[in-house]
Amino acid sequence: MEKRTCLKLIVSIIAVLAVGFLSSFFTSNSINSWYSTIEKPSFNPPNWIFGPVWTLLYIMIGVSLFIIWNSKAKDKKLVYSIFAVQLGLNFLWSILFFGNQNILGAFIDIILLWIAIILNIFFAYKISKPAAYLLVPYLLWVSFASVLNFAILILN
């Protein structure tokens, strides 16, 4: 892999991981306080699972972004915009759910995030099938997180 291509890969992954890292500031303070006091459904995973899963997903999102960036496709602006929107919604969810303890606001956000990921997959697929496929686990996890968010909303 040439130096420029390697740099694109590193920048893509680090940029996406940075979103997760920054959102963790809103999450970490609430895990052992507010979040531990609210009702959660029986299918709520243990807290330790979220960090590794999100790290892997962020890396896959970053690789997907890299594939799009590195492709020869002419017009990638729409895909870049959708990437930015879905990452922004992802970041906002942590602020709403953990930072503001706004379960309903977070649920609305995660539904919008789910739609943005579907659009991301759809438009990325037109440029690169592997880039789109790398986003499928993200969609599946956010689908599960949406159900979890809804269950927490109902229980609280």
- Reported confidence tier of residue 28, pLDDT bands at 50, 70, 90: confident
| Confidence band, pLDDT 50/70/90 cuts, at residue 72 | very high
Q: Total structural domains in the chain?
A: 1
Question: Whole domain around residue 111: which residue ranges?
Answer: 3-38+47-155
The CATH number of whichever domain residue 127 belongs to comes to 1.20.1260.100
Radius of gyration of the chain (CA): 16
| pTM, entire model | 0.94
pLDDT tens sequence across 76-124: 999 999 999 999 999 999 999 999 999 999 999 999 999 999 999 999 9
Greatest alpha-carbon span in the chain: 53
Question: What's CA 136's distance to the chain center, in Å?
Answer: 11
Judge contact between 38 and 156, C-beta under 8 A: yes
CA angle 75, 65, 78 (to 5 degrees): 30
**Residue 1 above 80 pLDDT?**
no
Cβ proximity of 134 and 63 under 8 Å? yes
pLDDT at 46 over 80: yes
* pLDDT recorded at residue 79: 96
- Give percent of the chain above pLDDT 70: 100
pLDDT, position 29: 84
pLDDT of residue 137: 98
